[in-house]
Amino acid sequence: MSPHRPTPATVILVHGLWTPAAVFSLHAHWLQRRGYRTLRFGYPSVRATLAENAEGLQRLIAATSAADIHLVGHSLGGLVILEMLAQAPDPRLRRAVLLGTPCRGSHCARRLATLSGMPALLGRSIMQWLSQTSGATASAPRSAVAIGVLAGTRRVGLGRLVPGLPLPNDGVVALAETLLPGAADFITLPVAHSEMLASRRCAAQIAAFLESGRFLHDEQAS
C-alpha cells in the first residue's frame, strides 16, 4: 500500500480590471511546478459590483475540494479578495497575496471618474470601491487569513498620463495606495503594474509568502 500523501493546497488566482482570467496563465504554471493546484477565477470586472464579484469568489471557494486554499489577486482582484474576506470567509483559507492592489483608494480611478463616460468604463466594482474608501482608512479584514502585499515601483503604465499620481508608483497605482494596515507582510519590487503578471521575481515572492507567511526580503534589493 502506498503511503498517504496530503492533498496539495489550491491557489485561486483573481485577475484585475479589463482583463481575462488567462492573464494569470504564467503564475498558474509556475505555482503548479511548485506542487500547487491552481484555479483562475473569472468575473465581470465592469458589469458587476464588488460585492457581487466577492460573492462569486466565495461560491468558487465553497465548491473547491481542498483542505487548504490560498488566494492571489492582481489590482482589482485584490479588492475582490478583501471584500470577500470581510464577510464570513471559508475556514480553509490560509494566505492571500495582493499584487498592486489599491487598498486605500486610487488616484487614477478618481481622476478618470470625473470624465464623461468614464464611470461606466471603470465599471461598477471600481465605482463601489471608490465610494467605500472615500475619506476612509482601509485595513486588513479581521480573519485568520494572513495577507501579504506586493507593490511595484516601476513607473510604466497609463497612469503616467493622469496628472498628480503620487510617487513612487507602478505606473497605475501609487505605493501609498497599496498599504494595508494589519497585513502580515509588505514588499516592493521594481516592476510595473502589468509587469507583475509576467515577473518571475513576483512569482518567487508569491510562493515564499504562500509557503511561509513572509516575503523574501533579502531579494528585495537584488
List the CATH number of the domain containing 166. 3.40.50.1820
Q: Where are the alpha helices (DSSP H) in 21-123?
A: 25-33, 50-62, 76-85, 107-113, 118-122
DSSP class of residue 162 equals S
Say whether pLDDT at 128 is over 60. yes
Provide the pLDDT confidence category of residue 181 given band limits of 50, 70 and 90: very high
Is 36 a domain residue? yes
In 96-173, alpha helices (H): 107-113, 118-122, 124-133
Tell me whether residue 5 is in a domain: no
Rounded CA-CA distance 4/16 in Å is: 38
Q: Is residue 34 part of a domain?
A: yes
DSSP sequence for 76-91: HHHHHHHHHHTS---T
pLDDT band at 138 (very low <50, low <70, confident <90, very high): low
Cβ atoms of 41 and 13 closer than 8 Å: yes
Q: CA-to-CA distance for 58 and 115, rounded, in angstroms? A: 33
Instruction: Kindly indicate the confidence band of residue 221, based on its pLDDT and cuts at 50, 70 and 90.
Output: very low
Taking only the tens place, the pLDDT of each residue in 1-33 is: 445 455 789 999 999 999 999 999 999 999 999
Q: What is the pLDDT of residue 1?
A: 40
In this structure, is residue 2 part of a structural domain?
no
Range of the domain at 68: 10-134+144-214
Question: Is 219 a member of any domain?
Answer: no
Nearest to 152 by CA among 124, 187, 118, 107: 187
State mean pLDDT over 112-126.
Answer: 94
**3 state SS of 11:** strand
Q: Residue 3: inside a domain, yes or no?
A: no
H helices present in 91-199, as ranges: 107-113, 118-122, 124-133, 175-178
Which pLDDT score, from 0 to 100, does residue 158 have?
A: 78
How many domains, in total, are found in the chain?
1
State the pLDDT at residue 106.
93
pLDDT digits (tens, 9 = 90+) for 38-94: 999 999 999 999 999 999 999 999 999 999 999 999 999 999 999 999 988 899 999
**Residues β-bridged to residue 71:** 12, 96
pLDDT for position 219: 62
**pLDDT (0 to 100) of residue 135:** 44
Q: Quick one: DSSP state of residue 166? A: P
pLDDT at 174 over 70: yes
pLDDT band at 220 (very low <50, low <70, confident <90, very high): low
Q: Is residue 152 part of a domain?
A: yes
In a domain, 63, yes or no: yes
Compute the mean pLDDT over every residue in the chain, rounded to the nearest whole number: 92
Task: Kindly report the number of other CB atoms within 10 A of residue 87's CB atom.
Answer: 12
pLDDT in tens, 42-57: 999 999 999 999 999 9
pLDDT of residue 159: 77
